[in-house]
Structure 1
Amino acid sequence: MRKDEWHLAQINIGRLVAPHDDPRVAGFFDALDRINALAEASSGFVWRLQSDSGNATDIAVAPDPLFIINMSVWQDAESLFGFVYRSAHTEIMAQRKNYFERFPTAYQALWWIRAGELPTVNDGLSRLWMLDRFGPGPDAFTFKQRYPHPGQPGPPRDHDPDPWCMGRA
Structure 2
Amino acid sequence: MADWHLAQVNIGRLIAPPRDPRVQPFFDALDRINALAEASPGFVWRLKGEGNNATDIQATPDPLLIPNMSVWADAEALFDFVYRSAHTPVMARRRDYFERFEGAYQALWWIPAGETPTVSDALARLWMLERFGPSPHAFTFKTRFPAPGLGGAPVDQASSLWPDPWCVGNA
TM-score by length of 1: 0.94
Match of 2:88 in 1: 90
Letter paired with 1:80:
L
Aligned length: 167
* Structure 2 residue corresponding to 1:110, chosen from 105, 108, 111: 108
**Contact kept in structure 1, 2:92 and 2:166, CA below 8 Å:** no
**Contact kept in structure 2, 1:106 and 1:131, CA below 8 Å:** yes
**Alignment gaps of 5+ in structure 2:** none
Match of 2:58 in 1: 60
| Distance verdict in 2 for CA 1:110–1:165, change over 3 Å | farther
> In the TM superposition, what whole-angstrom CA distance separates every residue of 1:27-72 from its partner, at most 9, and x where no partner exists?
1101000000000000000000001210101001112111100000
2:99 paired with 1:101 = yes
Deviating more after overlay: 133-142 vs 58-67: 58-67
Provide the secondary structure at the position in 2 that maps to 1:103: coil
Match of 2:73 in 1: 75
Letter paired with 1:147:
F
% identical equivalent positions? 67
CA-CA distance at 1:164 after TM superposition? 8.0
* Structure 2 residue corresponding to 1:157, chosen from 155, 158, 169: 155
**Contact kept in structure 2, 1:106 and 1:168, CA below 8 Å:** no
RMSD: 1.8
Matches within 5 A, 1:1-169: 5-162=3-160, 165-166=163-164, 169=167
CA-CA distance at 1:153 after TM superposition? 2.1
**Contact kept in structure 1, 2:105 and 2:126, CA below 8 Å:** yes
**Contact kept in structure 2, 1:16 and 1:101, CA below 8 Å:** yes
CA-CA distance at 1:165 after TM superposition? 3.9
